[in-house]
Structure 1
Amino acid sequence: MMHIKYFFALCAVLMLVVLGSHQADADCLSGKYRGPCAVWDRETCRRLCKEEGRVTGHCSSRLQCWCEGC
């Protein structure tokens, strides 16, 4: 019975890794955004990403503007 629990736990971890890596591939740094991107700058980040032809954008914890849908 313990082996089944470990198997399902391993499957859950692998699924998170695969989904997480897919999300990372879908984002790229904005080419137009300049300076730090803080929480109050997210609308500017989204607008510039849309101007670049991306779906949307968000500010990261490293104060960078990341565009989605690259």
Structure 2
Amino acid sequence: MMQIKFLFTLIAVLMLVVLGGKEADAVDCLSRRYRGPCAVWDNETCRRICREERRVSGHCSARLQCWCEGC
């Protein structure tokens, strides 16, 4: 019974690693032109700058960085 729990846990961890790796391959990239911290109230500025960089849109992250979509 203990081996089945271990095997299940191992499979669950491997799935998280694989799926998390896919998330990292998303098509977002840091803005090259946005300067300074990017907070929630700066989302519109981030979107505008990303569009000027010929990206689809943009958003501020929890780490206060402007991420552009469609890279």
Q: Same fold (TM over 0.5)?
A: yes
**How much does 1:18 deviate?**
5.3
Q: Distance in 2 between matches of 1:28 and 1:16?
A: 22
Q: Which residue of 1 aligns with 2:59?
A: 58
Superposition RMSD in Å? 2.2
Letter in 2 for 1:41: D
> Larger Rg: 1 or 2?
2
Q: Does the C-alpha gap of structure 1 residues 33 and 17 become closer, same or farther in structure 2, counting only changes over 3 Å?
A: same
Aligned length: 70
Consecutive unaligned residues of structure 2, counting only runs of 5 or more, are 1-10
1:16-55 Cα deviation digits (max 9, x unpaired)? 7656544433311000100000000000000100111111
Q: Does the C-alpha gap of structure 1 residues 69 and 23 become closer, same or farther in structure 2, counting only changes over 3 Å?
A: farther
Q: Which moved more, 1:51-60 or 1:19-28?
A: 19-28
**How much does 1:12 deviate?**
8.7
Q: Distance in 2 between matches of 1:18 and 1:54?
A: 27
Deviating above 4 A after TM superposition, structure 1's stretches of 4 or more consecutive aligned residues are 11-20
TM-score normalised by length of structure 2: 0.67
TM-score normalised by length of structure 1: 0.68
